[in-house]
Structure 1
Amino acid sequence: MARRDARNWHDCSKMIGLLCLVASILIQHGVSGQRVKVEPEVLSYPGQTVNLRCAFTDATGMQLTMVTWIYEPKDGERINIAVFLPNFEPNYPASPVKGRVSFMPSPPNVNNPSIEISNVRMNDEGKYICEYATYPTGNEQGITYLIMLAKPQNSASVVTVEAGGTKPVVVARCESVDGRPAATISWVTAVNGNATTVAKTGADNTETISSEYRMLPTPADNGKDLSCVVAHRTQVKPDSFLLKLAVQYAPLVTIVGYDNNWYVGRTNVMLTCQATANPAPLTTQWKTMSGEKPDTVQITDNVLKVLKVDDAVNTTFVCEVKNRIGIGRDTVTVIVRGTRLPEKGATTGSIIGAIIGVIILLAIIGTAIAMYRKHSSKKVTGDGPPKYKPPPPKKTNSSATRQPNTNHVPAAEDRPLQDQYYNTQSAEPVTDLDAYHDDEAYGEDEREHYYAAAPSGWDDPGNNEVPPPYMRTDSDPQDDHQGPNVSRGESFVSSAMFV
């Protein structure tokens, strides 16, 4: 266990040592990068003078022995262009910038050995290195990139084409010439097509960008918008060129004016030959399918006028329009009628619709007024369902004080009184009094009259008492007396009842 821990500790110490070494190297590079202070990027146009600055920020404990400026082209080897050694004159070895490069200020200062290049060219673009030879640390350097700019010449143009082809053709071109760096070109349009872009290196390391827009043109594409947009680093905003497509096509012809109501005797009717074309039409010619022109026909430019319709006008008229691309034509067949067709007013449908709309509106208004009046009358007269429940019928004094005579009634059997009573009673005929008895809506006066005519207290609908049972006796004189045999529908008087 102890050996394993010792082995792990040994490996860990090796890793820590390696990390410390890498950190020291990075720190040294960082310090050296910070000591030699330069500008990371310098922009210039051809013919200008550029200043490439360099300075050693902290030389404490060090000796600056020599400064060398090195030029490294984009595609090439390093070349020394300027050397300065204290106590010696500056030296400018053979290079592409010899005679145009010098230390600034003059005489140079080892702590600030900046240079300037006059009349810069496009080929001067590349990497410039300010390198110090120091003691005891060795060489330290800083890098500046010189970027040459060239403002391009931008242009765009339309290519005139003919419609009707089977392969896409170039309809517009856009170019950005002698720019540095290369420009970017884009197209903005609603027509269907594709763009192809080609780059070409020009003099002094400039770039020329050419773009073509291709499409399959149709007559409908003529005059549509097409924009070329060129963006470049030297421009504040992109250049936009608005173009109009130029598509040439043969005339498209349409004859108007025939209303299918040419009848015998009609006068001064006309046919107009309308045509669109690119380029503009050259000639317009009227013909008939029969080859003969009716005598009543007059032609003026693209208008055919019939002074009076007759059977000779019953033919097919042809209008031909010609331009440089080709010929376009249209025909119309005239049918001469014996009588005039009834003409429909242009506003008949509108008038009928308006009348129907007014009728519907009046019906809606009348319905609303009727409903409102009905609702108001109900409020005034109090019609409608009652707002309260009517009280139960009152008992009269005669029926309330009258007691049934029970002197001759024997003791009641064990059956309920209600069942005994109804089992001994004979059936009574249906009378009008039954209807009044069941109707809860009869008036108070009628109710009192009915109570006064009742023969006994249990006839009162308001009396909830049960009448006593009726018992027969042998001494009853009415045993042999039979009541009249009256059908139910002939009288409202029931059989005699003895109490």
Structure 2
Amino acid sequence: YIYFLTITFIYIWGAFIFRLLFIEPPQPNTDLQGLTDAQIRLPCWYQPEVDQRMVQVTWEKVFPNGTSKQIITAHFTEGIKAVENSDRVTFETYDPISESSALLIKVTKVSDAGVYRCHIVTYPLGNFDRTIKLTVWSKFHTLHFSDDLVEGQAFGVVATCRAVGYPKPGLSWDTELPGYSRNHTGEDGKTFIQYSLHPLRSMNGKKLDCLVWHPSLKEPRRVANHLVVQYPPDPIISSSPSNWQVGLQKAELVCEGRGNPTPQNVIWTRRGEALPDGVSVVGEKLVFGRPVQLNDSGTYECMVKNTVGSGKTEFRLDNLPQQSLVLIIVCAAAGALFLVLLVVILVVKRRHLRKTKKLKMEDEISTLSRQASFRRLNSTGSVSRIQVSKNHLVPQRSETNLRLALGSSLGGANQWNKCNLFCFFLQDSGLPSSLVPLKVQQDDGNGHKESDLGHLQEDDSVVESSTTEEHEDDEGRSRHHLEGTLSKMFYESNGVLRPRENPNAILLPSQNYYKPQLI
């Protein structure tokens, strides 16, 4: 039992010591991956102690059945010796005994995969080994292609993506096209994937990328591709400008082919007749090199061809309006609009003036009414009812002269206002219009006489010869109204105006009534 423990302790201690003596790899067994056609380094570096000597290092390939095959050897006296494939394998350093003993495989092949052993011979401790399991991944190759597609073909394979590698790579599609995907796996690390659909022109240019998955890649590799679908032209005609008329300059029709491949052959014709003079074809355009005429009307046809097929469309040019007629219509519309605006402005202005005049007259009448009311309140005399004498006459002007005098006072706007104010004062003075004396009696205090109604003030009787015609109608109506009113109040007898009798009249004593005033 003591012997067994001693041996175990020595083994563990020796393994620990040996582990410290191996700089790389630290573990007895190591897994390593590499790619084909690339250089691979198999690490092995033993550092002996001072009292030890490294005699020989040998690299061997171990087969699954347990046998081994020597690849390269380095002896401290005989040097380096490669058994086979000396052009493909070598030591990392020139002195693998005292330095690193790593093995380099310059051009790795898939057949290089396997188990390799680094065998170290020392004195006096003996032999030590490091085992490395090598996995070789082949660099995959991808081949992506899609067939030439034509619109209208039957459902079938439209794209194929191939990849070769070890381990076998995985393939997938990245697309939004409606179709069917199928994977195929072959020998020697070959695999491919196919995509099938029914080609339409709307699929042209759509993304159809192939994604390659492999352990040697951190993320899938994308092989970009876009689907190509050929289809015959589907032409359309556009005009510049959009509205045509007789006399239009620099007019042209443009025929857009809209086909894949791009149409190169564009043919312009006019149905039933030749193209008009002065009209030429420039590429896909039909250019009018002169002003548009009325006889340019007709149906213009555009035919477009490509390698897949042809397409045809037409543009009808008729009912061309004349430029002068259009101009007349526009000018007439503008003139009518201007007249409407002018009439509206005049009507609004006239209404404004009439309203302003009316408000001004009402304001003057209101002012005069307030003044008359104040005079009545401030009067000290009392009013008594008296009987008027039939002999109380106004022996001055006749009714005819009074009409003329009053009519002459209407020559202007100011005179008309004075007459209105005077008539209003007669009504607002507290006396009936039939009892207002036309001639004022002498005042007791002063003995001063006022002129009677027949003798109007001199400045108020002057006829304005420059009266404008626009007031004549208003003056005539006002004069007629005033004459009618005065005829009800007075009558003419022997060239003298006499007041008409009124049983309800209220007469004031001559010494107590107040004279009417013109304001």
Larger Cα-atom Rg: 2
Q: TM-score, normalised by structure 2?
A: 0.40
Q: TM-score, normalised by structure 1?
A: 0.41
